Structure 1
Amino acid sequence: MPCEAFFLPSAAGQRFALLYTPEPATKQRGAVVYVHPFGEELNKSRRMAALQARAMASAGYSVLQIDLLGCGDSTGDFGDATWEAWLADVRLACAWLQERTAAPLWLWGLRSGCLLVNEAAQRMPTPVKLLLWQPVLSGKQFLQQFLRLKVAAEMLASDGKGVMERLRSQLRQGEAIEVAGYLLSPALAHGLEQAELLLPHRSGRVEWIEISGRPDASLSPAATARLTQWQAAGQEARGTAVSGPAFWQTTEISECPALLEASLRALSETIPA
């Protein structure tokens, strides 16, 4: 599939982007903006994102992948990133792609990227559809887990008493902290902590896909509860579970073919009434 790499100008520097487009003879079925996960999960998941984007393009979808501010090959340092800046990047990517195709828009997020696409969808002038890969439900809980990397490192060098509270105190006082090689700004930490995967009132349908290491894959209880709540509120939403490795955190770069196939089905199938 044709793939074009370029820099997308923004109000704050440039964002590296990859555009996958269908062959000219292929019917255009939709447009997809991919929002990557946080920190090292971005690097671990690049191959799966590329494989899925190529598969989507083969099926007739234009796919735009963008590196957010301070991530990947985009300008700026990670320490410059804020939650609002990342949301602005998502809106920029959507606007750019919608200027070039009138096809229905999907926002596709992985892990913490799902929190961003959910919030971005709430702010869009018209509803968009959401494809959620292994979504993070609570930004507060995710931030806690991220900070534990720092706690674990400091416990190896000292007794580790009060490390978590000290880190949170530094963030509250406006100090950036370094965690696993990433400089976390107070603004990004605050925005992430406030993010929650809430009922997406401004979206079209929602396709939620989880990966399980078990052969008899099933949705997590948390996913089932959230989807049930959304469906009861009238949201068109469906959950799917597939078997495969948690590629965003495996030691070696890994693939999950079942996820690629399930995602293509999710985009093309309608949800039964």
Structure 2
Amino acid sequence: MSSAIVGQPGFLPGPGGDRFILSFSPRAAPVGRLILLQPFAEEANKSRRMLSECARAAAGAGWQVLLGDVFGTGDSAGDFADADWDAWLADVVRFCEAAPGNTPIVLCGVRFGALLLAGALQRGLTADAVVLINPVISGKMALTQFLRLGAAGELGADASARIDTRGLRERLDRGETVEIAGYGLSPALAAGMEASEFDLFGGASRLGWIEIGSVAGGDLPPATARTIEKLSAKGADIQTEALVGPAFWQTQEIETVTGLPAALVSMLGRLTSGAAA
């Protein structure tokens, strides 16, 4: 059973030091390669258990799975404050190259990971398919929300004060690194985030979108439906799945969505059915 599969730790060499990876191998020849890309900052810590469960389930279904920490995060070399957007996109390519073979390769981005995979695809990386799990599709919005977290922290107990991110943005513009919730945000990383938007740009045409929410019925949120419609108009072949469960990437306690591993495995099968090995 997939529950017996254990991730094998390892390291990949890279500028500034090694990148930490966990590899989950199937018992037989792999049917495909799955690269899992994590959320941003504290959301990544909240998501590790869920992603490990997804990785084991995929490996149990025959997939070679790699889950890595980009530079300055997790157990990889470097400090978060030294990270920049280009280095993170290079790490996405590095993770893909660490899973050699001629089986279909799928990139799966959870939350902020969607922006990372999109950025790598825009720069020439290719994949047979992409899976998104509650993706962040606007880097500018993600940066604003993170800065608001920092601005709110500076206000302390003054709940009546207006949250204003201008001070933090001015410091970034001056070339300063700002600390937000224990994470040092560099001007280079902030600039890369702000300029990023989710799009496929021909790097992959098959897309799976898994949305986790609190409302049963299988309907996608209106904003998600509009984004999917726009991507479909550009020629993307999109499969969707709506699940009911907690937003595990932001809950106070570590939580998981029971149906997510099976939904991911099913999505992988649908997206790569008929793909050449």
TM-score scaled to structure 2, two decimals?
0.91
- Equivalent residues in 2 for 1:156-235 (5 A)? 156=156, 163-235=164-236
Report the CA distance between 1:162 and its aligned residue: 7.6
Alignment partner of 1:18 is 2:22:
yes
- Equivalent residues in 2 for 1:63-102 (5 A)? 63-98=65-100, 101-102=101-102
Aligned to 2:12: 8
Report the CA distance between 1:102 and its aligned residue: 1.6
Counterpart of 1:42 in 2: which secondary structure?
helix
Report the CA distance between 1:160 and its aligned residue: 5.1
Native 8 Å contact 2:8 2:24 kept in 1: yes
Report the CA distance between 1:122 and its aligned residue: 2.4
- Higher alpha-carbon deviation: 213-222 or 163-172: 213-222
Counterpart of 2:205 in 1: which secondary structure?
strand
Aligned to 2:148: 148
Q: Between Structure 1 and Structure 2, how many residues are aligned? A: 268
Counterpart of 1:63 in 2: which secondary structure?
strand
Q: 1:56 aligns with which of 58, 62, 65?
A: 58
Report the CA distance between 1:125 and its aligned residue: 5.0
- Equivalent residues in 2 for 1:105-116 (5 A)? 105-116=105-116
Native 8 Å contact 2:106 2:129 kept in 1: yes
Query: Using the alignment, how far apart are the partners of 1:40 and 1:70 within structure 2?
Result: 13
Native 8 Å contact 1:121 1:128 kept in 2: no
Query: Using the alignment, how far apart are the partners of 2:272 and 2:96 within structure 1?
Result: 24
Structure 2, unaligned runs of 5 or more:
none
Query: Using the alignment, how far apart are the partners of 1:125 and 1:163 within structure 2?
Result: 38
Native 8 Å contact 2:122 2:200 kept in 1: no
Report the CA distance between 1:137 and its aligned residue: 1.2
**RMSD (Å), alpha carbons:** 1.8
Q: CA-to-partner distance for each residue in 1:195-247, whole Å, 9 max, x for gaps?
A: 10124421131101110112334212121111111212211112221111100
Q: CA-to-partner distance for each residue in 1:133-185, whole Å, 9 max, x for gaps?
A: 11001010111111111111122266856841111111111111000010000
Report the CA distance between 1:94 and its aligned residue: 0.7
Counterpart of 1:18 in 2: which secondary structure?
strand
Q: Indicate how the Cα distance of structure 1 residues 62 and 221 shifts in structure 2: closer, same or farther if over 3 A, else same.
A: same
Native 8 Å contact 1:176 1:186 kept in 2: yes
Counterpart of 1:73 in 2: which secondary structure?
coil
TM-score scaled to structure 1, two decimals?
0.93
Identity %: 42
Query: Using the alignment, how far apart are the partners of 1:125 and 1:161 within structure 2?
Result: 42
Counterpart of 1:50 in 2: which secondary structure?
helix
Which amino acid counterpart does residue 26 of structure 2 have in structure 1? P
Counterpart of 2:246 in 1: which secondary structure?
coil
Alignment partner of 1:264 is 2:229:
no
